[in-house]
Chains A and B, each alone.
Chain A
Amino acid sequence: MSQSAVSEEPLIKIRNLHFSRGSRKIFNGINLDVRRGQVTAVMGPSGTGKTTLLRLLGGQLKPDQGEIILAGEGDIGRMRRKALFRIRRQIGMLFQSGALFTDMTVFENVAFPLRVHTTLHERLLHDVVMMKLEAVGLRGAAALRPAELSGGMTRRVALARAIATDPQLMMYDEPFVGQDPISMGVLVQLVRRLNDALGLTSIVVSHDLAETMSIADYAYVIADGEVLAEGTPQALQQDPAPEVRQFIEGLPDGPVPFHYPAPPYRDELLGEVL
C-alpha cells in the first residue's frame, strides 16, 4: 500500500510559480506535476518560456514566487549551491544545442560525468561509456570530435552523456527541433525507449506537436505564462477550447495573435513618421 502511495506522489510538483525577466512576466502562477515513470510533455508556442522552465527546475534560475518541490529533497528554488550540485547528479538534461564539450572526444564527453562523480576504474569506465553510446547507436563514433558530428548525432551523444550517471529525471529541451525526419524518428524512439528501459522520469519541452504527443503520457500546453490545458494526448486532441485548437491544428491566427503587439497598421502608414 505504502509503496503505491509513494509512487502516486509526483516526482516534481510545481505550485503557483511566478517568474519574470526584467519587466517581462514569463510565468504567472503555473501549477504542474511530473509523475514518476512517465513522459511528461510541456508544449507551447516559441517564446513562452519552456527553456526557462527547465532552468528553473535545474536550479539555474530562481523563481520570484512559488515552489518547485522535488520529492524527498524539498524546494529547488530555495536550495543552497551545494545541495543543488548534489541533486543535479540525479537530473540529466539534454540541451537544445547538445552542448558537447568541444575540447574533448565523444568518448571523453560521455565519460566526463562518470569521471567527476564516480571513482570507476578505467576499464570499467570504458565499458560503461560504450554501453551508453551503444544505447544511442553511436559506439562507432567514440573517437570523433564534436565538430565532426552531424546535428542529430550531436544530440544523441549529448543524450548518452546525460544518462551516463543513470539519473532519475531526464529533461529534454526541444529535442526534435531542426532534425531531418530520420534523426527525428530516432530521437523520438530513444526518448520513449530510454524512459521505459531505464525506469526514468522524463520531461520533454517541445513545440513539435505530433512527435511529442506520440510519446507523452501526459501533456501541458502553456502560453502567456499560464497553463492553457493539460491532460493525456488523446484528451488534448479532443479539447474544444479555441486556444488549444489553434495550437494543435497550427492555425496562423487565433487567440494567440499572428501579430506582435503594435499600434494600428492604418495609423502607422498614414500617421507622421515618428
Chain B
Amino acid sequence: MIGLDSLARLGRAGLALMAALGRSGVLFFQAVWGWPSGQGVKLWMRQVHFIGVLSLIIIVVSGLFIGMVLGLQGYSILVGFGAEQALGQMVALSLVRELAPVVAALLFAGRAGSAVTAEIGLMKATEQLSSMEMIGVDPMRRIIAPRLYAGFVAMPLLTAIFAAVGILGGMLVGVDWLGVDEGSYWGTMQATVDFRADVINGMIKSVIFGLVVTWIAVFQGYDLVPTSEGISRATTKTVVYSSLAVLGLDFILTALMFGRI
C-alpha cells in the first residue's frame, strides 16, 4: 500500500511539474508575441534600466575581481612551465568562453531575476495584475513582455562588459604587478581567441541565459501563490532554478559549440 501511495504521489508531482512547464510555455509565447503596442519602447526602456543599468555595478566589480584572480592564478600556474607570456590567452579564453556568460548570468539571476519575481508577485498579490486585466490591458503585454525583451537585450551587453573588464583586470595584475610583457599579453590573446568560435559563441550563450533567467523570473512571479510566503518562496525558486538552468545549459551549449575540437 505504501508503495502504491508513494507511486501516486510521484505521479501527482510529475503531473504538477508538467502543468507548470505547460503554463510557463504558454506565458513565454504569449509574451513573445505580445510586444505592447504604442508605449512599447518606453516600457521596454524602463525595464532595461531596471534590470540592466542597475546591475552594472555588480557586473563591473565582479568582472574586475574575477579577471584579477585569473591573472594571479594563471600566472602562478603558467610560470611553472615558463609560459607566463600565455597569460593573456588563458585569461581571455576562460572569460570569453565560460566565466563571463556564466558568472554574469548567475549574478543577473540574483540581482535582477529575484527583483523581477518579487515585483510581479507583489503586483499579483495586490490585485494590480487582475485590475489591469479588467481595465482591458493584457498584463502579458504590459508587464511580462517588456521584461522578457529587456533581459534578452541586457544580458549579452552585461556579459560583454564583464569579459572586457575582466581582461583588463587580468592585465592589471599580470602586466602591471607581475611583469608579464604587455605585448605578449595581447599577442597570445589575439593569436588564439577567435572571433566567431569564441566571442560569438560566448555571446550566444549569454543571449540564451538572459532569456532563460528572465523567463524563469517572470514565470515564478506570475504563477506564485499571492501571499507573503508565496512571494518569498518564488523569489528563492527564481534564483535556484535560474542558477541550475544556467549551469546545466552551459554544459550542453559548451558541448555543442566546443565539443568537437
Q: Which residue on chain B has the smallest CB distance to residue A93?
A: B134
List B residues 146-182 near A (Cβ within 8 Å): none
User: Would B136 and A113 count as touching, CB distance under 8 A?
Assistant: yes
B132 / chain A contacts, CB cutoff of 8 Å:
101
User: Would A99 and B133 count as touching, CB distance under 8 A?
Assistant: no
Extra 18 A-B pairs, beta carbons < 8 Å, given A58-B133, A60-B133:
A60-B130, A81-B138, A85-B138, A88-B133, A89-B135, A91-B134, A95-B131, A96-B127, A97-B127, A99-B126, A99-B130, A101-B128, A101-B132, A112-B135, A112-B137, A115-B39, A116-B136, A158-B131
Residues of B at under 8 Å CB distance from A? 38-39, 126-128, 130-138
Give 3 closest A-B pairs by Cβ, nearest first: A99-B127, A99-B131, A88-B136
Residue of B127, B130, B137 near A116 (CB, 8 A) is B137
Residue of B39, B128, B133, B136 near A86 (CB, 8 A) is B136
Rounded to whole angstroms, the CA-CA distance of A180 and B220 in the bound complex is 37
Rounded to whole angstroms, the CA-CA distance of A86 and B39 in the bound complex is 19
Tell which of B38, B130, B132, B134 has the most Cβ of chain A within 10 Å: B134
Distance of A222 from chain B, by nearest CB (Å): 21
Rounded to whole angstroms, the CA-CA distance of A91 and B133 in the bound complex is 11
Tell which of A55, A100, A116, A117 has the most Cβ of chain B within 10 Å: A116
User: Would A89 and B126 count as touching, CB distance under 8 A?
Assistant: no
B130 / chain A contacts, CB cutoff of 8 Å:
55, 60, 95, 99
A112 / chain B contacts, CB cutoff of 8 Å:
135, 137
Distance of B48 from chain A, by nearest CB (Å): 16
Rounded to whole angstroms, the CA-CA distance of A88 and B126 in the bound complex is 20
A102, CB-defined interface residue at 8 Å = yes
A-B contact pairs, 22 of them (CB 8 A): A55-B130, A58-B133, A58-B134, A81-B138, A85-B137, A85-B138, A89-B135, A91-B134, A92-B134, A95-B127, A95-B131, A97-B126, A97-B127, A99-B127, A100-B128, A102-B128, A112-B135, A113-B136, A113-B137, A116-B38, A116-B135, A116-B137
